[in-house]
Amino acid sequence: MAERYLAELTKIRDAVRQDLLGGRINLLLGWEKGHYWWQSRPLFAEDEKDLERLTWDSFCAVNLSRYLLDELKDYQKIGVLVKGCDSRAFNRLLQDNMIARERVVLYGLPCPGMLDYSLLTAVAGVAPEGIDEENGRVVLKTVAGEKTVERDQLLLYKCRDCLYPDPVVYDQLLLIPRGAKEAPERYKSVTALEELPADERYAYWDKELSRCLRCYACRQACPYCSCRECFVEQDKPRWQGRAYQASENFLFHLVRAYHGAGRCIDCGECQRACPVVIPLQELNRKLIKDLNELYGQFEAGLNAELEPPLLTYKPNDPAAFSEK
């Protein structure tokens, strides 16, 4: 895997170098290593020297499309490396008229799924000193020795049930497509919750949400949350109070999730950003599941031309309340 990544990185770097130096783009959004081998952070590359830091490995989880919102104010033309979810985030922004398609060059990177450091640690039992990857397995190297684990078991939550690892929109596809994936467990925890009695479900959410700091990082990380003024900060009327009360937690979480109805691309950036790991994707997926059941299969961000289910209707639509 290490060699594969290296070969892929060379390919990526060659392609973007040409465009950056040739002036096709003025900025490249990619990833670079942070302090640790398990962190790859956003890179804003303007020149050849910056490009030396470019990286591509199993930790490039951060969605870069969101940065376009700000960077397009400063740069005429921007290149972005997009994995499957990042490309759908791009479509999301495009559909919301937040960015101009012609000012962006998308380099598609079919994605192997990103790894979760906290899982690596949990599975290894101690903080691993490094990993090797080969043939769908990960070798965790620790002081106590090595441990080999199926790669699938170490994926970030957001990657475990990803349906579209290949970019759905791009100008150049730089790597070999991996093909659509099955995600049989995508709604597993949603269904399990649906089957609980109402009071138990309430107790579950009450407990999970009680951890919430209401820092709104989940919103900041989300590619559809680009409202100039979010309801949580709106002053008149003041919908969302700042107190740490269950009632305020529920209000925030139900409304945030609901604002994503038909818009959430299920990229999981919200949950990844959450410092206390609140299962936000269960709320998001509940909405995706219901809308699909009620109003037909729809995956947000697949095609920027298709109308999301809550922006349209059919006269003979079914209803989920007891009066049809």
Partner 1 sequence: MPAALNEKIAGWEPLVVAFCCNWCSYAGGDLAGTSRLSYPANVKVIRVPCSGRLNPMFVLRAFQRGADGVLVAGCHPGDCHYSTGNYHSRRRLSSFKRLVEFAGFEPDRFEVRWISSSEGDKFADEMEAITGRIKALGPNRKMRDARWQSVT
Partner 2 sequence: MKKIVTADKLPVLWSHLAGQGKLLLPVKEGPTVLFKEWTAGDEVALDAPTSAISPKDIFFPREETYMRYRCRGPVLELSAGEEFEPVTAFGVHPCDLKAFEMLDRVYLDQDPVDELYRDRRARTTVVALACFAPDPFCFCSVFGIDPVSAPGADVIAHLDRQSGNLMLEAQTVKGEALLKGDASLLTEANGQSYGPALVKTADFGLKLSGLSENLKGRFEDPAWDKLYKSCLGCGVCTYVCPTCYCFDVEDYGHEMAGERFRCWDSCMYGQFTLMAGGHNPRPSRKERIRQRFLHKLQYYPETYGEIACVGCGRCLRSCPVNLDIVQAIIALGGEQNVQR
Choosing among partner 2, ligand SF4, partner 1, none, which partner's interface includes residue 264 (Cβ < 5 to 8 Å by kind)?
ligand SF4
132's tokens: 């090797």
Contact letters for partner 2, residues 274-313 (x by CB under 8 A): -xxx------------------------------------
Under rule CB under 8 A, residue 231 binds partner 1: yes
Under rule CB under 8 A, residue 306 binds partner 1: no
Binding footprint of partner 1, residue count (CB under 8 A):
46
Under rule CB under 6 A, residue 259 binds ligand SF4: yes
- Distance of alpha carbon 239 from alpha carbon 229, whole angstroms: 12
266 dihedral zone (left: phi>0; alpha: psi -120 to 50; beta) = left
- Distance of alpha carbon 160 from alpha carbon 153, whole angstroms: 8
Residue 140, φ and ψ in degrees, nearest 5: -90, 120
Residue placing its CB nearer to partner 2 in the complex, 50 or 290: 50
- Distance of alpha carbon 111 from alpha carbon 288, whole angstroms: 23
Instruction: Give SS3 for 104.
Output: strand
Near partner 1 by CB under 8 A: residue from 173, 204, 303, 304: 204
| Helices 198-210, 246-259: crossing angle, 10 deg rounding | 100
Near partner 1 by CB under 8 A: residue from 295, 298, 302, 304: 295
Q: Give the Cβ contact number of residue 37 at 10 Å.
A: 15
Choosing among ligand SF4, partner 1, partner 2, none, which partner's interface includes residue 317 (Cβ < 5 to 8 Å by kind)?
partner 1
- Are the C-beta atoms of residues 41 and 34 closer than 8 Å to each other? yes
Contact letters for partner 1, residues 139-178 (x by CB under 8 A): ----------------------------------------
Radius of gyration of the chain (CA): 21
Under rule CB under 8 A, residue 242 binds partner 2: yes
Give just the sign of the alpha carbon dihedral 267, 133, 173, 99.
positive
Q: What is the dihedral of CA 24, 178, 66, 76, to 10 degrees?
A: 10
37's tokens: 């081998």
> Which residues are CB-contacts of 50 (< 8 A; sequence separation ≥ 6)?
28, 43, 44
Residue placing its CB nearer to ligand SF4 in the complex, 16 or 68: 68
Near partner 2 by CB under 8 A: residue from 8, 19, 57, 208: 208
Q: Which stretch binds ligand SF4 (CB under 6 A): 21-29, 111-119, 198-206, 254-262?
A: 254-262
Per the DSSP assignment, residues forming a β-bridge with 82 are 108
Under rule CB under 8 A, residue 269 binds partner 2: yes
Near partner 1 by CB under 8 A: residue from 46, 150, 194, 307: 194
Near partner 1 by CB under 8 A: residue from 205, 216, 221, 263: 205
Under rule CB under 8 A, residue 117 binds partner 1: no
Contact footprint for partner 1 (CB under 8 A): 190, 193-194, 198-206, 231, 239, 243, 245-248, 250-251, 253-255, 257-258, 261, 283, 286-287, 290-291, 294-295, 309-310, 313-315, 317-323
